[in-house]
């Protein structure tokens, strides 16, 4: 695996009596899209702020592009904060150029890159509009552009999808994929599981500052047992790997429909193979995987999850 863009080891942040981040470790590689998931108050924003050196950890280590967090790394980082807001009184393009300059870009390249982003965001005709005169979603896209203007190697987006309509959510998804394709490490936090399901290579589930899970979507899916609907002439409850099997309706010509729950960690394919090698007649076989939403509720608790 290539050298991580971000590495966090045993990170702890305490605010008085509140342990906001509790012994957190993870790393994100170039090109990876990393979902940072957790309910309200799980410690997502606090972690991102420590990576940005806005607040200091109580203990633990953070390494951004091989060194400790430092504002001088700003040139390599793009950040979209959870609380949105840009200065009104400034035009969209001037705002983007201003952020580009803060990140060490020259005015001409910040401007041309800013215009390119506004084109992609369907806002080119509003480049000279005052941010204060824009709709909330439009201003949010300008703010997204400020986080992308410097083509960051580490892109961190805190709840980026909230407040965007479905078209603009799609546009944001494209930007995340684009950043990953050019080799940036992308971290985004969300409560909306479909975005994580569609985009993430890996994800981390946080609960009360502690990691509940880190891995790929496939790995997280294996945390919950699979279930399936099958039509068979045999007794599916008797198969190895089957936790429970319930008959649905009455059999027709000897064929019974079943709702089958597998034991944790058992692959549906291995049960299917057992049926074929042991002559258990099957006619229909539909696997049902737990959705990320189900897994989130199971591992993190229901709080703060949106459909």
Ligand X SMILES: Nc1ncnc2c1ncn2[C@@H]1O[C@H](COP(=O)(O)OP(=O)(O)OP(=O)(O)O)[C@@H](O)[C@H]1O
Residues that bind ligand X (CB under 6 A): 15, 18, 20, 38, 40-46, 82
Nearer to ligand X, 254 or 302 (CB): 302
Nearer to ligand X, 15 or 255 (CB): 15
The answer to whether 144 touches 132, Cβ cutoff 8 Å, is: no
Smallest gap from Cβ 254 to ligand X, in A, equals: 53
What would the two tokens of residue 304 be? Answer: 């703060």
Nearer to ligand X, 36 or 121 (CB): 36
Cα separation, 138 vs 143, in Å, equals 9
Nearer to ligand X, 47 or 180 (CB): 47
Smallest gap from Cβ 13 to ligand X, in A, equals: 8
Nearer to ligand X, 38 or 152 (CB): 38
Smallest gap from Cβ 206 to ligand X, in A, equals: 7
Query: What is the C-alpha R_g of the chain?
Result: 24
Nearer to ligand X, 40 or 181 (CB): 40
Smallest gap from Cβ 123 to ligand X, in A, equals: 27
Smallest gap from Cβ 59 to ligand X, in A, equals: 16
Smallest gap from Cβ 81 to ligand X, in A, equals: 11
The answer to whether 180 touches 33, Cβ cutoff 8 Å, is: yes
């Amino acid at each position: 695996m290539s050298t991580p863009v971000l590495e966090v080891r045993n990170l702890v942040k305490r605010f008085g009596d509140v342990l906001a981040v509790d012994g957190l470790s993870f790393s994100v590689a170039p090109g990876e899209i990393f979902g940072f998931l957790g309910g309200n108050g799980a410690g997502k924003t606090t972690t991102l702020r420590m990576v940005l050196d806005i607040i200091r950890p109580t203990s633990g280590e953070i390494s951004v592009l091989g060194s400790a967090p430092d504002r001088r790394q700003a040139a390599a980082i793009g950040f979209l904060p959870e609380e949105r807001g840009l200065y009104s009184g400034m035009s969209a393009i001037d705002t983007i150029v201003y952020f580009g300059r803060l990140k060490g870009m020259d005015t001409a390249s910040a401007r041309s890159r800013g215009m390119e982003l506004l084109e992609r965001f369907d806002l080119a005709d509003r480049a000279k509009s005052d941010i204060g005169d824009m709709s909330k979603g439009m201003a949010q896209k300008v703010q997204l552009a400020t986080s992308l203007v410097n083509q960051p190697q580490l892109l961190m987006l805190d709840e980026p999808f909230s407040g965007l309509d479905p078209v603009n959510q799609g546009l944001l998804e494209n930007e995340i994929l684009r950043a990953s394709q050019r080799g940036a490490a992308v971290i985004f936090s969300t409560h909306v599981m479909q975005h994580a399901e569609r985009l993430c290579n890996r994800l981390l589930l946080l609960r009360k500052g502690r990691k509940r899970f880190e891995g790929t979507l496939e790995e997280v899916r294996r945390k919950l047992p699979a279930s399936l609907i099958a039509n068979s002439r045999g007794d599916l409850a008797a198969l190895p790997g089957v936790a429970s099997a319930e008959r649905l309706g009455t059999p027709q010509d000897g064929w019974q429909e079943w709702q089958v729950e597998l034991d944790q960690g058992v692959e549906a394919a291995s049960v299917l193979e057992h049926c074929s090698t042991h002559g258990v007649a099957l006619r229909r076989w539909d696997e049902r995987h737990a959705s990320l939403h189900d897994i989130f509720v199971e591992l993190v608790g229901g709080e703060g999850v949106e459909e």
